[in-house]
Structure 1
């Protein structure tokens, strides 16, 4: 649901009634992951998507029905071999979709409003909702913040069960700290033993960082590609004449500093992508010496194979070992035959996506490899 935050926030602030359908779990070659959502308001306006088109019509109808009867439902969609024209996923996977009405009298409306408001402000927050459970609990929501505080509906839903709300908050906080969206199984009393309760926890965390070192033409194209992929993009270069807003209008941050010094002091995490385009040993070696010892998602460096061999020799002299050097992707990018800065940026972005999702980078035609994988990303148990 938090993937359509901006639109839903406008709806809820305007006092609209709506129903929201959210992907809870996926199996096989499903087109979208947990947290993907479609919402329909009382006027019939629809936003978002749960399947990229396969089952949107049926999910739309479920939302309309939920608005009418006020009932939360969980529906599974999959492919039918017996009737390929039946409602289902033609890609062959399955998805479970939670459909929740959010009407003026809905007890959880205030919780959803608070969650959407926090997400719009780009505050880290988790929204836990009951997917399966005893009567009265499906659809119940809990907002959880990084400090462990939480907000639920007063005297109803999860709050009606002693200790349950507190344990749900603890589980949601754990997923929020990991930046994950996924399901959690609890017993009805809130203990971790799988039992009568299934929760969907959606984590809203700041976008992952891409730091591009080297204010060159290739960097300008890579900034655009990084923004397209949803990264918060920083350009860093020690030369003030090149690291300017005029040259990188789409970058979130432009930093004039020695790359290795900046990298030591800036915040990175397990989702960060570091792209070294400086192509100069006096910048590359000290920078990569720092970068390859950080727990980041991706470290790549531009250069020819000869440049890479010389760079690796220098890095070994600087004290890096085989394990650290094995993390370096150089020459950076997939083999697309790229020539222009834009084509090169596409090849680099493609390698970052393949690394993030566990892809091979080979053509899907004739490969037999899975189209969709359960990788970890910033949005969830499958790696958004």
Structure 2
């Protein structure tokens, strides 16, 4: 739902009634991940997508029905060999979709409205919704923000069941929010594992991850465009003011004139940050990479020929970079696409970043036996089993 927050926030501001259908679980190959949503207002206007087209018509009708009767419903769609005319996914996967009415008088609107407003502003927020369990709880929600966001410092809204359930889910939802993840958790109706089993979908909206491109060259301009296309907040940094100008990098969110390693020392990075070093000049690269390889970021890559790569590694060893730290470096940066132009090179680099983030191999899907959509990461938390997707 938060993936279409800007449009839904406008609908809330305009006082429109609507229903929102959200993917809450995916089994096998599915076109959209949990959190993907389609919404339909009282006039029949639709936004978003839950399947890329396979089941949109049926889900549209479910949204209209939810608006009419005010009831949430959980529906499963999958391929059926027994019924050739059944609505399902041509890819052979199975998806569960929760349809929730969000009318002016519906209590869930009081939770959704501030969540949508925060997500539309690019601020951090998470919505936790019950997607399976006792029927009367289906679709109920609570809102979690960063630490200290609300009066009790924890959450707004609630499930209307056991108070411990609210506290348990709020604590787990904040862990999802801190990691910028969307996924499900399982707990009990009374919190922890007590009471009837309940599955909760946690949708997180966080500010876009950062891509910092070092080196104000033509390849950096193409990569900045690609980074924006992929949803990154893009910064271009170079110590040379004649090259590092907003006019040369109109797609970048910011252009910084500063020695790269000094800028990296003072700027905020996190576990989603991508660092792309395109300077291939030792006086910039060595101090920059020495720092970058010791930071808890998602990706560190550096441009250059294989000879440049070997020379750079030796220089990094000389300044104390360990073999374990060097193993983090993606160099020469990018996948082997045979790229020549700046745009092709940017595609090569972006492809490696996506493959690294999603666990892809980078090989051609033709003739391969690997899954198209890789399994999402699963971890265990005190409330039970959690499955999450970045």
Common fold: TM-score over 0.5: yes
| SS of 1:244 mapped into structure 2 | coil
Paired residues of 2:37 and 2:48 also in contact (CA < 8 A): yes
TM-score, normalisation: structure 1: 0.95
Q: Deviations over 1:20-61 (max 9, x none)?
A: 000111111111111000000111111000111111111111
Change (3 A) 1:215 1:194: farther
Instruction: Give the Å deviation of 1:103.
Output: 1.1
TM-score (norm 2): 0.94
Distance in 2 (CA, whole Å) between partners of 1:303 and 1:277 is 8
> Does the 8 A contact of 1:185 with 1:193 survive in 2?
no
Q: Deviations over 1:251-306 (max 9, x none)?
A: 01111111111111111111111100001011011111111111111111000111
Residue 382 of structure 1, CA deviation: 4.2
- Provide the residue aligned with 1:322 in structure 2: 323
Q: Segments of 4+ in structure 1 off by > 6 A? A: none
2:247 is equivalent to residue 246 of structure 1:
yes
User: Which residue number in structure 2 is paired with residue 228 of structure 1?
Assistant: 229
| Alignment RMSD (CA, Å) | 1.6
User: Helix, strand or coil for the counterpart of 1:43?
Assistant: coil
Question: Which residue in 2 is equivalent to 1:113?
Answer: 113
CA distance in 1, matches of 2:193, 2:274: 34
Is 1:149 aligned to residue 141 of structure 2? no
CA distance in 2, matches of 1:381, 1:276: 33
Higher mean alpha-carbon deviation, 230-239 vs 86-95, is at 86-95
Does the C-alpha gap of structure 1 residues 116 and 42 become closer, same or farther in structure 2, counting only changes over 3 Å?
same
Query: How far has the Cα of 1:162 moved from its partner?
Result: 3.0
* 1:133 alignment partner in structure 2: 133
- Does structure 1 residue 372 correspond to structure 2 residue 373? yes
Counterpart in the other structure of 1:101: 101
| Structure 2: gaps (5+ residues) | 148-152, 379-385
Contact 1:357 1:383 in 2 (8 A): no
Question: Who is 1:200 aligned against?
Answer: 201
Given that 1:374 and 1:382 are in contact with CA atoms closer than 8 Å, whether structure 2 keeps it comes out as: no
Provide Cα deviations, 1:226-273, integer angstroms capped at 9, x if missing partner: 000000100010111111100001101111111111111111111111
Identify unmatched segments of 5+ residues in structure 1: none
CA contact (8 A) 1:210 1:232 kept: yes
C-alpha contact (below 8 Å) 2:126/2:203 kept by paired residues: yes
Contact 2:133 2:196 in 1 (8 A): no
**Structure 2 residue aligned with 1:10:** 10
* C-alpha displacement of 1:374: 2.7
Matched-pair contact (CA < 8 Å) for 2:79–2:88? yes
- Which residue of structure 2 aligns with residue 300 of structure 1? 301
Secondary structure of the structure 1 residue equivalent to 2:178: helix
* 8 Å Cα contact 1:185/1:194 also seen in 2: no
Counterparts of 2:294 and 2:18 in 1: how far apart (Å)? 48
Query: For the residues of structure 2 that align with 1:343 and 1:85, how far apart are their CA atoms?
Result: 43
| Cα deviation 1:169-204 (Å, max 9, x = unaligned) | 112112111211111111110125695211111111
Aligned to 1:72: 72
Correspondence 1:163-174 to 2 at 5 A: 163-174=164-175
Q: Describe how 1:352-367 pairs up with structure 2 within 5 A.
A: 352-367=353-368
Distance 2:127 2:319 in 1: 46
Alignment length (residue pairs): 378
**Distance in 2 separating the partners of 1:25 and 1:318:** 48
